[in-house]
A and B are shown apart, each in its own frame.
Chain A
Amino acid sequence: MKGRVRKSFAISLIALFSLSAIFAAGNTEKAAESKTVEVWMINSPVESIISAFDTAGTDFESETGIKVNYVRIPTNDFHTKLVSSISAGVFPDMIIWNSSPGVEFSGTGAVQPVDDIVNEIGRDQFGEGSLKMFAVNGKQLEIPFMVRPGGIHARKDWLEAAGYDMTPKVDSDGYYYYEGLQTWDDIVAAGKKISDPANGKYGLGFAYSRKAFGDSAAFGMSILYSYGASLLDADGKVAINSKEAIAGLNLIKKIWESGAVPAAAITWDGGSNNNFFIAGDIGIVLNSNSIMGKLNDTTGTKPEDLVILPFPSGPAGSYLSASPESITIFNKGNVEAAKSYAKYLLKAETQVKMFEKMGFGYYSPLKKDVMSNALFSNLNMNEKVLMQDARKAINVSFPYDPNAKLGALYSSFLFDDALSRIAVDGWSAEKVAAEMAAKVNEAIND
């Protein structure tokens, strides 16, 4: 018996030593890699963007000796990968993303405050609104980096054929606009006019699907907030069942019932609206500006057919659901090297060099010293509109301080499911608002 116990003990010790050896080897490897910054970012569909970031990384390495290792993740997988990775205690050194991970994971204590970097660069270099978007309890958790502008992409030729004057005008505040295409109601009316379902042409290409990875959420939230809705009120109470929210949801229902949106929009994925617009089957879509770079002489929609409409407004203003691309640093890894790379990426000369390589459109500048660069003085009308609309970007906590629980709720199909309820289940705006309110209530009080 004693012999068996001794043997079992010996086996357990060997197993423990083996495990320790494996972990120790891993740590040695990590220590050896302390001169590397691991940066997670979206796997961009545009080659020139990948190249611009790669060049910035290489230049940084030659200046500092710190290697930049990009981990490029498909958009659809980014959130899941990040959640599971953080839960497993594995943190990237840095994230460059437009979904505000610093705010979302602020409760974990793993996000490195970056006030020192922002102060060093100068707070006046960023819009105060964009800084506020990423501050929790007075701490700056993310640094606004660039903007991935979103906007209403439309078929200029279809609108002209429908009698719209597509000459841009400038209002008293210096904002560009097109006559008769300024409000959401105008957009619905235009969508109906240019629709020709019998010939496979639809005026409006808004996704009403939970498969659309942000497209439905951006569309739904933009309308609701432009109608004056917010998830919470000033006292922190649930407000998404307000009369403003119901008015916004009624417009979303009206758009669905207008017949200008293809019935298939309830099953669209993230690429559907872009693809159908590029193929020449849809007249108006809300999308990030990945469309512009994909149009050419062989696509159904030609580059000259594209017009980017200034983002429409509702009764409460014009708000676009979009977060700037931001830099988040985690305090679990190579913090100093990550900070150093963040500062390098935020330098005006680095960004100008990047824009020279990747062009304007998919990204637009956000820092004032970059925006004032001569590179951006020669923009065409569509690019000017994208630049002006970047100022309309809001996040889900708007108009109040960022709230991690609301950020998580945005990623939980809150808006996507609301749209599905309208389109698939035929629910009334009041019923949808009540369900949204229940979800918000559970999220903030549970």
Chain B
Amino acid sequence: MPILRRKLTLEEKDNAIGRRFLYPALFVLLCIIAFPVIYSFTLSFFRWRPTEVGHRFVGLKNYFDVYKDDRFVVSIFNTFIYAFVGACGKIVLGMGLALLLNKKFPGRAIARTLLMLPWIIPVTASLTAWNWMFDGMYGVINIVLSRMGLISTYINFLGEKGVALACVLMVGIWMGYPQMMMMLLAGLQAIPGDLYEAAEVEGAGKLRVFFSITIPSLSGVLKTSIILSIIWTFNAFNVIWLLTRGGSSTHIMNTLAYEFSFINMRYDKGAAMSVTILFFLAIFLYIHTKMQREDSLQ
């Protein structure tokens, strides 16, 4: 007896056609995202070096080698400091400036352009400038501090442990705040003016308005911004590599993975480090997805 096929509705037919249009994009995404991840994961279980021919399965050895390296613990600590303090710094600064730009004042357009500069200037150009500004012999920061009488001997900003991490963190915040500022500014502009007018009629103070209207209205944007900022900062590389090359105890997990792979020429250890980074990022991604789902349910 022949099987009777149910006739597809017009909508189902459209969906089926639509899905096929997605195949090429999915194929490209698989190639550029899934393949490198799977490849790195595989690589982390093999002895795999660019100076040797052939690869040999070594199990978890690469992971043990990475975890017993003195720099690993330092890099985890620095990554969390860099990601969380960096994200907070960017959000606080971004929020302050977004609030400022949300007000009408003469020259607002120019101010907005100027405040976007750290994001617009090519990274290598701005980091070269920071490198010179932090210089321990002729850096402008040392000169200014010295002329103000705040220091008697020049500070080796990028050479002293702790100070170097603070400096790269500061530069990271400086480079990342404009993005936060723009996201929060967009959020601020979407808050209905009626709410502020009602609060004014009720006699609410500025702080009360900020905490009872602005922050709750921005909660969705804020949550996304914080998580995204942590993920982006977690993936940071160029600030630290170009300013300190991981010296003075400033390695974060990404720079260490790079050093394993391309400086020490141990792709296997670099892959093990990358998989470890992926594990942490997956946690943040899970939190982000969960928060988004909760928001959409609300």
Whether A26 sits at the interface, judged by CB under 8 Å, is: no
Work out how many contacts link A and B, with CB atoms closer than 8 A.
81
A200 to B146, CA, bound (A): 14
Query: Do A264 and B50 form a contact, CB below 8 Å, given A15-B27, A84-B262, A210-B246?
Result: no
Within 8 A of A (CB), among B46-104: 50-53
Query: Do A264 and B265 form a contact, CB below 8 Å, given A211-B244, A211-B247, A424-B161?
Result: no
Contact across chains for B53 and A411 when beta carbons are under 8 A apart: no
A266 to B135, CA, bound (A): 10
Within 8 A of A (CB), among B245-271: 245-248, 262-265, 267
Contact across chains for B247 and A107 when beta carbons are under 8 A apart: no
Whether B158 sits at the interface, judged by CB under 8 Å, is: yes
A16 to chain B, nearest CB (A): 11
A439 to chain B, nearest CB (A): 10
- Chain B residue contacts of A80, Cβ below 8 A: 262-263
Q: How many residues of A contact B (CB 8 A)?
A: 33
Q: Which residue of B lies closest to A262 (CB)?
A: B137
- Chain A residue contacts of B51, Cβ below 8 A: 104-105, 107-108, 404-405, 408
Query: Do A267 and B265 form a contact, CB below 8 Å, given A11-B23, A108-B53?
Result: no
Within 8 A of B (CB), among A228-286: 262-264, 266-267, 269, 276, 281
Contact across chains for A267 and B156 when beta carbons are under 8 A apart: yes
Whether B118 sits at the interface, judged by CB under 8 Å, is: no
A365 to B60, CA, bound (A): 50
Contact across chains for A412 and B264 when beta carbons are under 8 A apart: yes
Whether A109 sits at the interface, judged by CB under 8 Å, is: yes
Q: Which residue of A lies closest to B248 (CB)?
A: A424
Contact across chains for B159 and A264 when beta carbons are under 8 A apart: yes
Whether A209 sits at the interface, judged by CB under 8 Å, is: yes
A83 to B265, CA, bound (A): 8
- Chain B residue contacts of A269, Cβ below 8 A: 131
Whether B154 sits at the interface, judged by CB under 8 Å, is: yes
Contact across chains for B136 and A267 when beta carbons are under 8 A apart: yes
B290 to chain A, nearest CB (A): 34
Can you spell out 27 A-B residue pairs with CB atoms less than 8 angstroms apart?
A11-B20, A11-B23, A83-B50, A83-B265, A84-B262, A86-B50, A104-B51, A105-B50, A105-B51, A108-B50, A108-B52, A108-B53, A109-B53, A210-B246, A211-B245, A263-B159, A264-B135, A264-B154, A266-B156, A267-B135, A267-B136, A404-B51, A405-B51, A408-B264, A420-B247, A424-B161, A424-B247
Q: Rank and list the top 10 A-B pairs by shortest CB-CB distance, nearest first.
A: A264-B136, A266-B159, A264-B137, A267-B158, A267-B159, A87-B50, A412-B264, A210-B247, A211-B245, A80-B262
Residues of B within 8 A of A (CB): 20, 23, 27, 50-53, 131, 134-137, 154, 156-161, 244-248, 262-265, 267
Residues of A within 8 A of B (CB): 11, 15, 79-80, 83-84, 86-87, 104-105, 107-109, 200, 209-211, 262-264, 266-267, 269, 276, 281, 404-405, 408, 411-413, 420, 424
